[in-house]
A and B are shown apart, each in its own frame.
Chain A
Amino acid sequence: DARVTQTPRHKVTEMGQEVTMRCQPILGHNTVFWYRQTMMQGLELLAYFRNRAPLDDSGMPKDRFSAEMPDATLATLKIQPSEPRDSAVYFCASGLPMDRGNEQFFGPGTRLTVL
């Protein structure tokens, strides 16, 4: 049963600390997305990759956020330094264009709390 995996599932940290979230996309999927979900803003697209290359990261605060795909099986989202307003659930999703119309498969999310 192929699934997107995300680690950690929960993270509590103090303001100013670095946070790294990891995502393993479904094997064979070549697009990876990072979303942030909050009660106030809903689901926001932060960045997305195709074939490991960043296509759009306009939704990401550049001064503190960075997203990378070191290889096809790993995507990372880093926040440095973290702030309380970064508290949210961060979802990773992967997909294969033209596979059921670009359907995205979501991971379980990382719930981040910055104190």
Chain B
Amino acid sequence: AQKITQTQPGMFVQEKEAVTLDCTYDTSDPSYGLFWYKQPSSGEMIFLIYQGSYDQQNATEGRYSLNFQKARKSANLVISASQLGDSAMYFCAMSDNFNKFYFGSGTKLNVKP
């Protein structure tokens, strides 16, 4: 069964604007972790942000924030003030109790000047 769903294969955003990348997940475990990774054209996977299932507040890391809605099982990534360097693939992922990771299919973000 698919664990992570990213419904936006590609998105465009104007430089300096905010953008939200969608992610929904499926699990019956009470304890899990949610992650976002960035993969630029160079290919490396870069960790952006983490949210624990028991965390009360939404995670933030600089211009990145994770909009965690537990009841809806969604973990959307919000990038504020987009920059040209934000153009990349973005992957949502979830870790289960056994530390196994499940990745979504990714969203390709293009930032327009």
Query: Which residues of A are interface residues toward B (Cβ below 8 A)?
Result: 31, 33, 35, 42-43, 45, 48, 50, 55-56, 89, 91, 93, 95, 97, 100-106, 108-109, 111
Q: How far is the CA of A103 from the CA of B98 in the complex (A)?
A: 13
Does B99 lie at the interface of the complex (its beta carbon under 8 Å from any beta carbon of A)?
yes
Instruction: Assess the B106–A89 pair: CB atoms within 8 A.
Output: no
Instruction: Assess the A55–B91 pair: CB atoms within 8 A.
Output: no
Instruction: Assess the A42–B43 pair: CB atoms within 8 A.
Output: no
Query: Which residues of B are interface residues toward A (Cβ below 8 A)?
Result: 33, 35, 37, 43-47, 50-52, 91, 95, 98-106
Instruction: Assess the B50–A55 pair: CB atoms within 8 A.
Output: no
Listed by A's residue number, 23 A-B pairs whose Cβ atoms lie within 8 Å are A31-B99, A35-B103, A42-B103, A43-B91, A45-B101, A48-B99, A55-B100, A56-B98, A101-B33, A101-B35, A101-B50, A101-B52, A101-B95, A102-B99, A103-B33, A103-B47, A104-B35, A104-B47, A104-B101, A105-B47, A106-B44, A108-B44, A111-B43
Q: Which residues of A contact B43 (CB under 8 A)?
A: 89, 108-109, 111
Instruction: Assess the A103–B35 pair: CB atoms within 8 A.
Output: yes
Q: How far is the CA of A50 from the CA of B109 in the complex (A)?
A: 34
Instruction: Assess the A91–B35 pair: CB atoms within 8 A.
Output: no
Q: How far is the CA of A34 from the CA of B46 in the complex (A)?
A: 16
Q: Which residues of B contact A45 (CB under 8 A)?
A: 100-103
Q: Which residues of A contact B35 (CB under 8 A)?
A: 101, 103-104
- Chain B residue nearest to A104 (CB atoms) is B101
- Chain A residue nearest to B43 (CB atoms) is A109
Q: Which residues of A contact B51 (CB under 8 A)?
A: 101
Q: How far is the CA of A97 from the CA of B45 in the complex (A)?
A: 19
B98: contacting residue among A35, A55, A93, A108, CB under 8 A: A55
